[in-house]
Structure 1
Amino acid sequence: MRIAALVALLAAVLPSALGVPAHQLPLAAPLAPAPAPPVWPAEEGVGHFSEWSKAQKRQFVTDVVAGKADEWVLVMGNEGGDLDSMTAALTWAYHLSHNNEAGNRTIALLQTPRDALDLRPENKLALRNVLMSPGHRDLLTIDELPVPPRELAKQIKGIVLVDHPAPLSDWEEAKVEAIFDHHLDRGAAPDARPRIFEPVASCTTIVARQMLDELEARKEGEYHVPHEVVELILDAIAIDSKGLTNSQPADKFTAERLLRRSNWRDEKLYTVMARLDDELSAAKKALDELGVRDLLRRDWKGDLVKTADGTPDVHVGFASVPLSLEDQVERTLYNTTDAWFGVLDGFSNEIGVDVTISLHSYKSKRHEDGHPKGGDVLRSKKIKVREMVLAVRPTDNVSDAQATQLFDLVSKTLEESPFLDAERWADYKSLKPRQMIWVHHSPNGGRKLVRPIVESAIAGWKDSLAA
């Protein structure tokens, strides 16, 4: 092999060294290519956290295939897959795997497809900063499960929910071991322990505080918490709390405890958190390269809504996009609203959604007459504008007539809601059947407000044409 390699090297170097064109040299027998390693070592994540995560993923897949899924607890966040949800899941899974007296195996499951993780640039940046592998080979995503979620839910020991108040329908048959959330308590799994609902800026705050409390109370001494874990937690708290400027006391006190364990321990807390928030927020806004389909799926949440007897359960999905519909239309092939709805319909069909709602938020300049000190100078003020787009389509689950019923029901619910004050889009008459767009300015009128309104209405739907 060494002689063959030397021949190949001379063949590459001699033509230029001797002034002989390469095509005039005698042909040599081709060398057999050396087998490439399955993963280039230079691309692997380094550090304890990456190594632990990769090892857990390999062992989990091996055990599930071998019929030993009942030894595992899955820690999962919501399907939107933001930095808070991902970090909370990874943190608690790491803690349980090192603080586990019962010997249960634990792994974080990201309920986001692997190819969608980088649609959130802030996640990509945060993971790179804590030395995780490119391509997310050391993370377990929903599309990498060895068996479908509904089947796996019956086999595993249990699940832990973070940044989500209740299990998705695919996981309903799994035992809920614990819940950590900063949303409204829906009453799911009343026997779960710990079961903490607290209105803090970041769910990771709740998880990290519980981890630190249990870690520091260990009689046998603390296990090793690598700085990468600590710094990922600080990232999540920083971006959710706007650098602690929009936080609760628990966010600040937990961040202080974590800072003392980080590589930034000699810096001031607010200096560190402001820097992290600036870096991550800048990354979060870097969406110029995303098309409409990727914008829809980067922050997507949805599930089955159970309805009255005799009426089919309805798959409802919610996208959250930080751009106006006008900006998104410019990213379509024909630059038309109809083309945008075509992308929305294709994505909804791809994932089997009956009712799709896309929520958009952006800043718009509003000109006001007058000047603070008098005069006729126009002044402008940026205001937050929100758009709601509804599309309902007939599917194998919902007939054409039922789709029309659902559209009428959801439309009426949104238009009559006192919390939204929604107005129909100026050009709404140009839309196709079962499509509608509204504009409103409710300050907290995002998915957290709209989703319960819509799902409650659909849960009460009764098919008026049913026999």
Structure 2
Amino acid sequence: MASGPLSEFLKAKKSAYIGDVKAGKGKDWTVVMGNEAGDLDSIASSIAYSWFASKVQNATAVALTQTPRSDLHLRAENLHALELAHLDPSDILCIDDVPCASSDPWPSSTFALVDHNRLQSRFSRDNPDARVVAAVDHHQDEGLYQDSASPRTIVVPTGSCASLIALLFEEHPEHMTPDLATLLLCSILIDTSGLKPGGKAEATDRRAANFLLPILAASQGPLFSFAATDVNADAPHDTPGLADLHHTLQEKKASVAHLTTSDLLKRDYKEYTMTPATAPTTAISVGLSSVPVGFEAWLPKDAAFWAETEAFMAARGLAVLGILTSFRDADHPGKSGRGKHRREQMYVVRGDEGLAKRLFDVLGDAEELKLKRRKFPELGVHNGFGEGVEVHVWEQKNVDATRKVTAPLVKAIIEGSSKGASL
């Protein structure tokens, strides 16, 4: 069983929060949460900020993971990082642990947002006192909570939100523990391709790593058996053991062969509410699922893909679902000797041919993505969606464009704002 100060902290806060919600005192708490995709960056950032808020700001704070407990197993890299940080999944407060029906108002009204910067309607609906008191993020700034959030730290570009959270401790290093540093560093490694030059790492990420690594060196733990003198501030990625740790985390992240289509769609999923320019009084739901496997390896092996995708959309009331793949092509080695990094995009639109045509036409010409149209027979299958469903699939030539690029672009297309506008 997991143990240590961080584990005990999380268990105590989880128990106390659930108890207070049952007693009608949920409004006494600040709920710290990442986005609904539930990746390691969101989990690590929410845990670390709840610790910061409690220890430094003396707030009554609890970290909330928006992933249902039954879905935690879908991300093996998260479980591995938790284990390295001496945490157990049972330590975490999951959204379905909170004694609150999905149709009821959320029992707390004070929120700290990490890894996103807009409070979702689930938490503000019928909750007139809802307010955001902190926002730490590395996605596009939506300009909200400027009068209420402190800190309000939104830095773009930054590879990992965990880097921004780590830097909050620079003035309070006595509150950074080895377990917390481990969790944050694992997130930074995953999000920045191991901090390697030329990758996704920015100056903020390297600064955060240079803050965390000496703390880990001093801990003399078996995972980080290096001295502080081994840390090169100009090349933190060369610190002994980091490359192996990054490789292990990436292997676990890519280990999804046992997952069903439904599992793959929900393991890294974000949902947005958008108002089409063609129907300004009607909001629609748009989902974007990031999946670490290519369509050629996925579709021919899962005959249920078509039915499960339609069921996934129907259950969530989605008008549009984008499936964004990111994977290594073992048949085409890249410069590193590993499989070449590839991305693809598929969009499924239900019941609106006009919306589908606009989305497909503009996406196909988007310089941000550099999409090349593909046909289903090229992927080894034929289109198996039912009537009333429009679908296009592309190879994405700009492999550096992640969901952080795609989501604002899709929003701009659907809502009719200028393509490439800051959203």
Same fold (TM over 0.5): yes
1:21-61 residue CA offsets vs partner (Å, 9 max, x unmatched): xxxxxxxxxxxxxxxxxxxxxxx322221111111111111
Indicate how the Cα distance of structure 1 residues 410 and 46 shifts in structure 2: closer, same or farther if over 3 A, else same.
same
1:260 lines up with 2:214 in the alignment: yes
Q: Give 2:11's aligned amino acid.
A: K
CA shift at 1:422, angstroms? Answer: 2.6
1:211 lines up with 2:165 in the alignment: no
1:199-244 residue CA offsets vs partner (Å, 9 max, x unmatched): 222211111111232x25xxxxx45x44211221222222223332
Q: Give 2:308's aligned amino acid.
A: V
CA shift at 1:449, angstroms? Answer: 2.0
CA distance in 2, matches of 1:74, 1:434: 39
Equivalent residue for 1:78? 35
Equivalent residue for 1:387? 344
- Which of 363, 369, 372 aligns to 1:420? It is 369
- Which of 317, 341, 349 aligns to 2:314? It is 349
Alignment of 1:216-235 (within 5 A): 216=173, 222=174, 225-235=176-186
Equivalent residue for 2:400? 444
CA shift at 1:90, angstroms? Answer: 0.3
CA contact (8 A) 2:328 2:338 kept: no
- Which of 68, 80, 99 aligns to 1:125? It is 80
CA distance in 2, matches of 1:235, 1:298: 19
Equivalenced residue count is 381
Q: Give 1:52's aligned amino acid.
A: F
1:169 lines up with 2:116 in the alignment: no
Q: Give 2:208's aligned amino acid.
A: T
CA distance in 2, matches of 1:358, 1:291: 14
Q: Give 2:57's aligned amino acid.
A: N
Alignment of 1:336-375 (within 5 A): 339-364=304-329, 365=331
Equivalent residue for 1:140? 93
1:408-448 residue CA offsets vs partner (Å, 9 max, x unmatched): 23222212323333333234795354122222312323322
Q: Give 1:360's aligned amino acid.
A: T
Instruction: Look at both structures and tell me which one has the larger radius of gyration over its CA atoms.
Output: 1
CA shift at 1:148, angstroms? Answer: 4.5
Equivalent residue for 2:421? none
SS of corresponding position for 2:361: helix
1:132-175 residue CA offsets vs partner (Å, 9 max, x unmatched): 22xx221111222222567544x524111111132223234621
CA distance in 2, matches of 1:282, 1:427: 28
Indicate how the Cα distance of structure 1 residues 439 and 255 shifts in structure 2: closer, same or farther if over 3 A, else same.
closer
- Which of 289, 304, 307 aligns to 2:273? It is 304
Indicate how the Cα distance of structure 1 residues 438 and 91 shifts in structure 2: closer, same or farther if over 3 A, else same.
same
CA contact (8 A) 1:109 1:142 kept: yes
CA contact (8 A) 2:158 2:204 kept: yes
Indicate how the Cα distance of structure 1 residues 404 and 64 shifts in structure 2: closer, same or farther if over 3 A, else same.
same
1:289-327 residue CA offsets vs partner (Å, 9 max, x unmatched): 222221111111112224567632111101111211121
CA shift at 1:363, angstroms? Answer: 4.0
TM-score, length basis structure 1: 0.75
Q: Give 1:443's aligned amino acid.
A: V
Listed as ranges, the gaps of 5+ residues in structure 2 are 232-238, 418-423
CA shift at 1:273, angstroms? Answer: 2.6
CA distance in 1, matches of 2:371, 2:29: 46
CA distance in 1, matches of 2:96, 2:160: 26
Aligned-residue RMSD, C-alpha? 2.7
CA contact (8 A) 2:254 2:293 kept: no
Q: Give 2:92's aligned amino acid.
A: L
Equivalent residue for 1:189? 145
Equivalent residue for 2:420? none
TM-score, length basis structure 2: 0.82
SS of corresponding position for 1:258: helix
CA distance in 1, matches of 2:28, 2:309: 40
1:55 lines up with 2:12 in the alignment: yes
Q: Give 2:190's aligned amino acid.
A: I
CA distance in 1, matches of 2:16, 2:181: 24
Q: Give 2:51's aligned amino acid.
A: Y
CA contact (8 A) 2:226 2:240 kept: no
Indicate how the Cα distance of structure 1 residues 306 and 193 shifts in structure 2: closer, same or farther if over 3 A, else same.
farther
Indicate how the Cα distance of structure 1 residues 428 and 195 shifts in structure 2: closer, same or farther if over 3 A, else same.
farther
* Identity across the alignment (%): 30
CA distance in 2, matches of 1:321, 1:186: 26
CA shift at 1:108, angstroms? Answer: 0.8
Indicate how the Cα distance of structure 1 residues 79 and 363 shifts in structure 2: closer, same or farther if over 3 A, else same.
same
Listed as ranges, the gaps of 5+ residues in structure 1 are 1-43, 217-221, 368-379, 394-399, 462-467
CA shift at 1:382, angstroms? Answer: 5.8
